[in-house]
Amino acid sequence: MSAAASSDLEQAPADSVAAGEPLPLSFTGRGAEYFGIWIVNLLLTVLTLGIYSAWAKVRRLQYFYRNTSLAGSAFDYHGSPVAILKGRLLALALLVLYNVSTQFAPLFGAVVFLALAAVFPWLLVRSLRFRAWNTSWRGLRFGFDGTDAGGYRVFLLWPLLTAISFYLLGPFWHQRMAAYQRNHARLGATRFSFHGEVGPFYGIYIAAGLIFLGVLVVSGMVAVPVLRGLAGDGEGAFRATLGQMTVLPLAVLGLAMLFVWSFVSARLQNLMWNHTRLGEHRFESRVRPLRLFAIIGTNFLAIVLTLGLFQPFAAVRVARYRLESVRVIAAGSLEEFTAGAQQAVAATGEEAAEMFDVDLTL
């Protein structure tokens, strides 16, 4: 055995940890590496007119999952490209059907819309099941056993209530959705549970709205005098000023939206994980909104400047920050998870699972 290898193994966190000791998620992906996977995926996808995109998705997720470790062991993704391809063809067909019918035959379009609304929650539940079942850690599969009735509540009833209430009930919807997804998820035979109340969801959305308004007011107070000064030069400067008048507010608006988005997604990630348990184990997430904004903002600029070639680096940067912000507060040994009864059943009936499971997440 080589010396390098043995020191590698010693560095990996031991898993017979004392209760309460935090175990960080670690991420070992690198932008330059993922760029190779990404560009080969892109080439083969274009060459096959999109067919390869399903295989590309599997390799992308495998790269990210296998580079993510908890207690020295990696996660893995097992999705079948054929199932993903079926899901994508289905999603594309629904999208085309919806777009064409609403464009050219509004009445028929309305019927199609209702039919889609009726089918969509059912599909989403299957998609959640597919995603969970195809994720594993230490050989134990995750699972999702939410009922269809629950799916219709969070993917149809709550969106309707949210729309009817002019989004005032939006945070309720979000909380119900989080609870549905996590309370029905498991790792092997061990269940996840969600303990977040509605209050903090309202807190995040209200704060986001106030921040957005604040940014707009402040930037307006700065921008208006500046623009007025520029416009004061008279007719000659008209064209230049016209450009600035449209570009400047758009840039400010874009930055404000990017910041609010970073804020909401950082706070939501923290809220979700800090109120999630796996058996008796807890999680701790500490994503800082400003740090996330810095990463996403620079990513955005770099992607524009490189005509998209920076995308794989950007994805790795965001994944590293988000993942390494999460720690597991173990209540005992992580070795004690066992496979559920369903694992054995589904492992033999895998083909049937692939027949009926679709993956809608593009």
Residue 91 binding another protein, by CB under 8 A: no
Which residue, 192 or 337, has its beta carbon nearer to another protein? 337
98 binds another protein (CB under 8 A): no
CA distances from 81 to 53, 85, 91, 343 (A): 9, 6, 15, 21
- If one asks whether residue 115 binds another protein (CB under 8 A), the answer comes out as no
User: Considering the complex, what minimum distance in angstroms separates the CB of residue 226 from another protein?
Assistant: 24
Which of 290, 285, 257 is closest to 271 using CA atoms? 285
| Nearest CA-CA partner of 322 in 292, 283, 278, 293 | 292
Three-state SS at 25: strand
x/- mask, another protein, residues 118-157, rule CB under 8 A, reads: -------------------xxxx-----------------
Residues 6+ away with beta carbon under 8 Å from 165: none
Task: Indicate whether 63 belongs to the interface with another protein (CB under 8 A).
Answer: yes
CB nearer to another protein: pick between 125 and 256: 256
- Rounded distance between C-alpha atoms, residue 357 and residue 354, angstroms: 5
The correct pick among 19, 21, 22, 47 for binding another protein (CB under 8 A) is 47
Residue 349 in the binding site for another protein (CB under 8 A): no
Q: How far is the CB of 123 from another protein (least distance, A)?
A: 20
Instruction: Give me the least distance between CB of 266 and another protein, in Å please.
Output: 17
Residue whose tokens read 């009726």: 118
Whichever of 14 and 226 has its CB closer to another protein, that residue is 14
For another protein, which stretch binds (CB under 8 A), given 111-119, 127-135, 166-174, 339-347?
339-347
Q: Give the residue among 87, 61, 155, 51 at the shortest CA–CA distance from 357.
A: 87
For residues 258 and 300, is the Cβ–Cβ distance under 8 A?
Answer: yes
What string of H, E and C letters represents the secondary structure of 33-98? HHHHHHHHHHHHHHHCCCCCHHHHHHHHHHHHHHCEEECCEEEEECCCHHHHHHHHHHHHHHHHHH
Note the residues at the interface with another protein (CB under 8 A). Answer: 1-2, 4-6, 8-9, 12, 15, 28-30, 33-37, 39-40, 42-44, 46-47, 53, 59, 62-63, 66-67, 72-74, 76, 100, 103-105, 137-140, 188, 300, 303-304, 308-309, 311, 314-315, 334-339, 343, 347, 362
